[in-house]
Amino acid sequence: MSLLLGDWLAQKPFSLALSAGFFGFYAHCGVLLALEEAGLFPSAYSGASAGAIVAGLRSSGCDAKQMLEILTHLQRRDFWDPGLGLGLLRGDRLRNLLDRLLLVSDFQSCCIPLSISVYDIFKRKTIALQSGNLADAMYASCAVPLLFQPIRIDGNWFVDGGIGDTWGLLGIPENCRVFCHCLPTSAVWSRGRKRKISLPEGENIACLKIDSLPAVSKEI
């Protein structure tokens, strides 16, 4: 790309895609804050896993500064609820936390269009949710298998959207201009072995990936 990223984004409306990445919502918030300070506001959001949390909060009306205030005070006790089931954590605390933080309860009430990627366990495919309960969709998208228990939505069981949509791009129409914030990640779902994932490419897509991001503190 010959243009600077900011110049490219300022040319025409763009969607912001936020990738999966364990507890990577801190980095996503930083990118969102930088965009807002530069006067660049996405026309739509999409996300998977950690990206779904930031995309969902922003689309509900929460700005980047508000999100940083919330997420920097997040503690393990806010989501840690071990229990019997198909995952170490029941997920009730995380689901209730998301419900409290969101400014609206469903996709239809969002101030900005939103798409959240989730993985259907039994159909073994990723789908993009764009309607229904917002907290349920966000929880499903970040329900890492074996850590968080899956959630049932409309008769289907869902877990982490990053399984099949690492970059959070599934729900964005093909011809849209997209800025994708790609957290450092690798796939671990294929026979338990990590493999590198290529960044998305295309005429209408710009990616930002910073490999030197600091690890999340173990004190969370």
Residue with tokens 């590198």: 196
What is the chain's pLDDT, residue by residue, as a tens digit (220 residues)? Answer: 468 999 999 999 999 999 998 888 889 999 999 999 999 999 999 999 999 999 999 999 998 888 888 888 888 999 999 999 999 999 999 999 999 999 999 999 999 999 999 999 999 999 999 999 999 999 999 999 999 999 999 999 999 999 999 999 999 988 899 999 999 864 444 444 455 678 888 889 999 998 877 665 544 4
How would you classify the pairing of strands 114-120 and 44-48?
parallel
CA-CA-CA-CA torsion for 204, 210, 211, 213, nearest 10 degrees? -150
Is the pTM here over 0.85, yes or no? yes
Q: What is the DSSP letter of 163?
A: G
In 3D space, the residue among 89, 3, 72 whose CA is nearest the CA of residue 220 turns out to be: 72
Residue 19, CB-side half-sphere exposure with 13 Å CA sphere: 24
| 43, two tokens | 């026309």
d(CA 32, CA 37): 9
Q: Angle at which helices 92-101 and 134-141 pack, to 10 degrees?
A: 130
| 22, two tokens | 């364990």
